[in-house]
Chains A and B, each alone.
Chain A
Amino acid sequence: MAPGPRVEIAIAEKRFAGEAPPLFAGLSIDIEPGSVLALLGRSGVGKSTLLRMIAGIDTSFTGTIAIGGAPAASAPPPGFVFQDSRLLPWLSALENMLAVTPERNVTAAREWLARVGLADAEQALPHQLSGGMQRRVALARALAVNPKLLLLDEPFVSLDRQLVDDLHALFRKLIAAAQSTVILVSHLPEDAARLADRAVLIGGRPARVMGDRRLAIARDQRSPRDILNLTEELAQEAEATT
């Protein structure tokens, strides 16, 4: 199975109307096929904006963002996971998935729901599901749309410890199977230490790459101690650059 696409970010300039310093100027990041990149940085630095530019939602910038060689806006839609689960409350879990998948493939949608452990919940409305289950539907939805390219915007915030651990484990398993290219936006170094192959820290205004490190130990072979150490190192790096 082929891994996910290469993502090449080369933004010349991105600014919001009426704002003096641009948000990004000369920002380039090259993401290898099938790798997991954690995009770290303080809130307000533009991580979410960058993710929306990669998703092709925000196209008002100069420069290029290429996904598998094609411009972001005309590339196949990415599997996007929002900060909230963002399910449509009037549709069941299954319908929520069918709503956004281009060919409305019921069998495939059911399979993804089963893979996130929600085979029994396909007819449930979002508010009948727990917070953790809603996140899992959102993850299944993203995977059903495009398992090769996943963009995640702080998908593990405001969940309790145990749920985050479960979701992390599930997420690791699913992206390993699909060989997805993943861009994970987070303000928590721990997310990067647990999930990513590479952590890029952006900061400043205009935002630039302040730190870029490949995490040496393969992501599914890290012991709890490795994760602690990596978290610590990434946190210190973030501290030092701001």
Chain B
Amino acid sequence: MFPGPVEVIGHIWQLAATGDLVPDFEKTLLRSAIAFVISMVAGSAIGIALGRVRWLDRLFAGWVLVGLNLPAIVVAILLYIWLGLTDFALILAVITNKVPLVVVTMREGVRSLSADYDELALAFRMPFTRRLRLIFLPQLMPFFLAAARTGLALIWKIVLIFEVLGSDGGVGFRIAIFFQFFDVAGILAYTVSFIVVVVVVEYGVMRPLETRISSWRLARG
């Protein structure tokens, strides 16, 4: 019931060598990555549009609120019923859960854009693309990074839950099977592996990206 660290690590080794650990992680990470990219792109586009265009925001603000508070599990169940137990349904459910969060963050970012810098661009007749690259995007970057960070954390979690609910493999699917056999060592082996992946993504991708994009902020401190 309470396996020690040595036993868990041995189990990881064994599952990776002979079990389904590697293909399971491949499946889960691929699903997460697809959902993440689509959510960030779609959410940013919608968020920027809502922040920029007032009547659009008035029209859709209510829907964003509904989307934010819709229980994740309800979306997943409905999509599984309507679309079948497919990867497509799973990824779509994850996106549906994630997009409103990105929208809200990016909308806030657009609303906080400085009118002073717009005036600067107007006074010097900056061309549109230069304005976008040098004034618009640098101001939105911190919001985009915040959305990406909370996004990754959320997507990991709900992908697993949806895999438990119904899929043909993946980390969540495997953990559900271990659960049925009370295989605590298996559950912990998968969990530890998962944490390793999260740490690698954090220090290998997110941190360097953040440092690069916001180095001017760090220099200020």
Main SS at interface, chain A: loop
Chain B residues contacting A77 (CB-CB under 8 Å) are 123-125
Q: Which residues of B contact A (CB under 8 A)?
A: 116-117, 119-120, 122-126, 130, 134-135, 138, 216, 219-220
Q: Which of A80, A84, A128 contacts B124 (CB 8 A)?
A: A80
Q: Is A57 an interface residue (CB 8 A)?
A: yes
Kindly report which residue of chain B lies nearest to residue A51, judged by CB atoms: B123
Please report the C-alpha to C-alpha distance between residue A239 and residue B138 in the assembled complex, in whole angstroms.
46
Q: How far is the CB of B36 from chain A (nearest CB, A)?
A: 26
Chain B residues contacting A99 (CB-CB under 8 Å) are 126, 130, 134
Q: Is A125 an interface residue (CB 8 A)?
A: yes
If A84-B116, A128-B219 touch, does A55 touch B123 (CB 8 Å cutoff)? yes
Chain A residues contacting B125 (CB-CB under 8 Å) are 56, 77, 102
Sample of 27 A–B contacts (CB below 8 Å):
A52-B119, A52-B123, A56-B123, A77-B123, A77-B124, A77-B125, A78-B123, A80-B120, A80-B123, A80-B124, A82-B116, A82-B119, A82-B120, A88-B117, A88-B120, A88-B134, A88-B135, A89-B220, A99-B126, A99-B134, A100-B120, A100-B124, A125-B216, A127-B219, A127-B220, A128-B219, A145-B124
Please report the C-alpha to C-alpha distance between residue A80 and residue B125 in the assembled complex, in whole angstroms.
11
Chain B residues contacting A52 (CB-CB under 8 Å) are 119, 123
Q: How far is the CB of B69 from chain A (nearest CB, A)?
A: 35
Please report the C-alpha to C-alpha distance between residue A125 and residue B215 in the assembled complex, in whole angstroms.
10
Q: How far is the CB of A87 from chain B (nearest CB, A)?
A: 9
Ranked nearest first, the 10 interchain pairs of A and B with the lowest CB-CB distance are A100-B124, A80-B123, A90-B216, A77-B125, A90-B138, A57-B122, A127-B220, A99-B134, A55-B123, A77-B124
Please report the C-alpha to C-alpha distance between residue A56 and residue B130 in the assembled complex, in whole angstroms.
19
